[in-house]
Amino acid sequence: DADVTQTPRNRITKTGKRIMLECSQTKGHDRMYWYRQDPGLGLRLIYYSFDVKDINKGEISDGYSVSRQAQAKFSLSLESAIPNQTALYFCATSLPSYNEQFFGPGTRLTVL
């Protein structure tokens, strides 16, 4: 079984709709992250959480919100999706003592 899972894997939605992307992990890591990747570009950090009570904005948090429901679950919401939020979204986890990050398989989101 995969250590970091994301649901859904693919989603097509319309402008203005609310979308939630979910991430679950079985690695027991406290730290979780959400990134987006646009074609031909690297990853940009949206939000990150170092424990259940800790939520921090990343580089590009506008238009997004997150919820850390448990150590193992970190959800990303688009309150009102817009076309330029079309991208590949990745969840990742890490340990505090060693900053190697473990990535989920990604969610491909298309906003029409």
| Burial track 68-80 (b if 16+ CB lie within 10 A, e otherwise) | beebbebbbebee
54 neighbors 108 (Cβ within 8 angstroms): no
Which stretch, 11-19, 21-29, 68-76, 84-92, contacts other proteins (CB under 8 A)?
84-92
Which stretch, 12-20, 37-45, 67-75, 78-86, contacts other proteins (CB under 8 A)?
37-45
Q: Restricting to residues 5-24, which ones interact with other proteins according to CB under 8 A? A: none
Please tell me the distance from the alpha carbon of residue 9 to that of residue 2, in angstroms, as a whole number. 14
Q: How far is the CB of 80 from other proteins (least distance, A)?
A: 26
Between vectors from CA 84 to CA 82 and to CA 87, what angle results, nearest 5°? Answer: 110
Q: How far is the CB of 32 from other proteins (least distance, A)?
A: 12
Residues in the site for other proteins, rule: CB under 8 A? Answer: 4, 31, 33, 35, 40-45, 48, 50, 58-59, 88, 90, 92, 94, 96, 98-106, 108
